[in-house]
Structure 1
Amino acid sequence: MIDFTLEKKTTLSDALMQLFAIVSLLRSEQGCPWDREQSPKQVSTHLIDETYEYLDAILSDDDEGQQEELGDVLLNAMMLLEMHQETDASASIEALNQVCEKLIRRHPHVFSDQKVSNSKEVIDVWNAIKQNVEGKTHEKDDFFSRVPPSLPPLEMANEIQQKIRKVGFDWPDAQGVFEKVAEELKEVNTAFEHQQDKNEDLEMELGDLLFAAVNLARYLGFNPSLALHRSNQKMKRRFNALYKRSQDQGIALHKDNLSEMDRLWEEIKADERSQSEE
């Protein structure tokens, strides 16, 4: 048993240090076996999960939920910091020093006398410093060498397109991106209708369609992962509502009752629209 007294802190620095102290105790020999067994890789995945839960709280305007989930995000960040402290305390301190130095270096319009007029110019300055001052550029034979290979496919597609955009290889207007999506959808349809043709690759055409859809989201200024996450949440919410109504009305969820399920689906959509207008 560890003798520890929790105190309600009144300053950010004290509250952060208390969290770090608790995390350190959990990782200690007298602490929790499960916490000691965690690895940076495992905690990194927890951090991703908690970030999405925090995002869900933001999307639902849940202030109390945001507070709780932000705490969970910080917990996992502190757990990673503690793990590095255990192997090399100076390295974790240097990591914090480096990120502070980087923020000051990449914001000369804040911490020096360089002038910028808008956010676009801020990004240009940021990228120029990364490449020309820090030397963070792609390898000679791989333009995408700085795109993390561990990224999930959707995020990787977005990163590839963002990198291409930085050198000016982009659509002049949104209409071209819309037309590209329509073109890729047409090619999917063609491949579907000629699946016996060895020259047609339906899977590849579907991939091209998804890549074009990601490009459209990116061009319009939206994160494709967040857009898809919101659509997933909407589908779950609506189908759960359909599931409940079907039970209440004695309608079995089966293809033979598709017309009844469609009716319930449209009712749910109409209810959502009326609630949003209130």
Structure 2
Amino acid sequence: MRRLRDPETGCPWDLKQSLSSLIPYTIEEAYEVAAAITEGDDDAIKDELGDLLFQVVFYTQLTQEQGKFSFDEVAQQTADKLIRRHPHVFGETQAQSDAEIKAQWEQIKQQERADQGADASVFAGIPDNLPSILLAQKLQKRAANVGFDWPSVTPVLDKIQEEIAEVEAELNAAELDQQALADEIGDVLFAVVNLARHAQVNPEHALRRTNLKFKQRFQAIERRLAEQGRSAEQLSLAELEDEWQQVKRRLQSDEF
């Protein structure tokens, strides 16, 4: 990395980069790691993890050039944080249940924010530019940490039904209000993320798996039709639905 950034003999593209310019590449690499893991391709996972690690090395080369901090300092700070947040492993406290460990983790994080003089809000430190599903999950989790949460999954399901009814009401209104409809659909999505949290399901992972499943099934339809010299555009909705059900039954045993 130092050679790539050498002002005399380095790579022109690498020399032009800044912390800000690397952000899109980092996000892309993180998604590629997730995709490789979802697909279960070990070689791809190794390759994509290397690409993601390269992003960290790149960032810390830039910050070291700016006299801020190095890769080693980042690694050390992370190690210190892990030790601090796991007193049941590295300290004197005894092993606890998962729920107690999570509560302890959040309490330590909250104390860290207070020690740093951070905003006193329960949402302090949550960046607004996170992907919407992840942001919803984090907001709900923080609110739950101070007791603002449903006691069980049943009222969450009721809330989803309530929000769907409000979407239907907007759709059936005499005059369609697109912004109001968008707000109500957003409420449905937020409630579904809450359901996933209560069910201990990662909503991002769940949706990613469903996206991949949908893609695989539709591509199987395309292959079937191609063998017959036809394409999806030539079929009616009913015919496509019939093809979908046939492919679904055939792939059922291969579901991931």
Measured against the shorter chain, the TM-score band is: 0.7 to 0.9
**Per-residue deviation, 1:65:** 1.4
Identity of aligned residues (%): 36
Which residue of 1 is the match for residue 119 of structure 2? 139
Which residue of 2 is the match for residue 27 of structure 1? 5
Sort the Cα spacing of 1:97 and 1:228 in 2 relative to 1 into closer, same or farther, 3 A: same
Q: 1:206 aligns with which of 160, 171, 185?
A: 185
Aligned partners of 2:220 and 2:247 also within 8 Å = yes
Letter in 2 for 1:177: V
Which residues in structure 2 correspond to 1:59-74 (within 5 Å)? 59-74=38-53
Q: How far apart, in 2, do the equivalents of 1:122 and 1:195 lie?
A: 52
Which residues in structure 2 correspond to 1:72-111 (within 5 Å)? 72-88=51-67, 90=69, 93-111=72-90
Letter in 2 for 1:126: W
Which residues in structure 2 correspond to 1:179-190 (within 5 Å)? 179-190=158-169
Aligned partners of 2:60 and 2:69 also within 8 Å = no
1:121-167 deviation line (CA, Å, top 9, x unaligned): 22222222222355168635x44232212212222111110111111
Aligned partners of 1:138 and 1:144 also within 8 Å = no
Q: Kindly indicate whether residue 140 of structure 2 is the aligned counterpart of residue 161 of structure 1.
A: yes
1:94-146 deviation line (CA, Å, top 9, x unaligned): 44333232222222222221123122222222222222355168635x44232
Which residue of 1 is the match for residue 22 of structure 2? 43
Q: How far apart, in 1, do the equivalents of 2:142 and 2:117 lie?
A: 11
Which residue of 2 is the match for residue 232 of structure 1? 211
Sort the Cα spacing of 1:249 and 1:197 in 2 relative to 1 into closer, same or farther, 3 A: closer
Greater CA drift, 48-57 or 91-100:
91-100
Letter in 1 for 2:252: R
Sort the Cα spacing of 1:258 and 1:249 in 2 relative to 1 into closer, same or farther, 3 A: farther
Sort the Cα spacing of 1:273 and 1:100 in 2 relative to 1 into closer, same or farther, 3 A: same
Q: 1:264 aligns with which of 243, 246, 250?
A: 243
Aligned partners of 2:63 and 2:70 also within 8 Å = yes
Gaps of at least 5 residues in structure 1 are 1-22
Q: How far apart, in 2, do the equivalents of 1:38 and 1:64 lie?
A: 28
Q: How far apart, in 1, do the equivalents of 2:240 and 2:228 lie?
A: 11
Which residue of 2 is the match for residue 11 of structure 1? none
Q: How far apart, in 2, do the equivalents of 1:149 and 1:47 lie?
A: 18
**Per-residue deviation, 1:197:** 6.9
**Per-residue deviation, 1:205:** 0.7
Sort the Cα spacing of 1:55 and 1:195 in 2 relative to 1 into closer, same or farther, 3 A: farther
Q: 1:116 aligns with which of 79, 91, 95?
A: 95
1:202-224 deviation line (CA, Å, top 9, x unaligned): 11111111111111111111222
Q: 1:254 aligns with which of 230, 233, 252?
A: 233
Aligned partners of 1:58 and 1:66 also within 8 Å = yes
**Per-residue deviation, 1:60:** 2.0
Greater CA drift, 79-88 or 52-61:
52-61
Sort the Cα spacing of 1:118 and 1:54 in 2 relative to 1 into closer, same or farther, 3 A: same
Aligned partners of 2:164 and 2:188 also within 8 Å = yes
Aligned partners of 1:195 and 1:202 also within 8 Å = no
Gaps of at least 5 residues in structure 2 are none
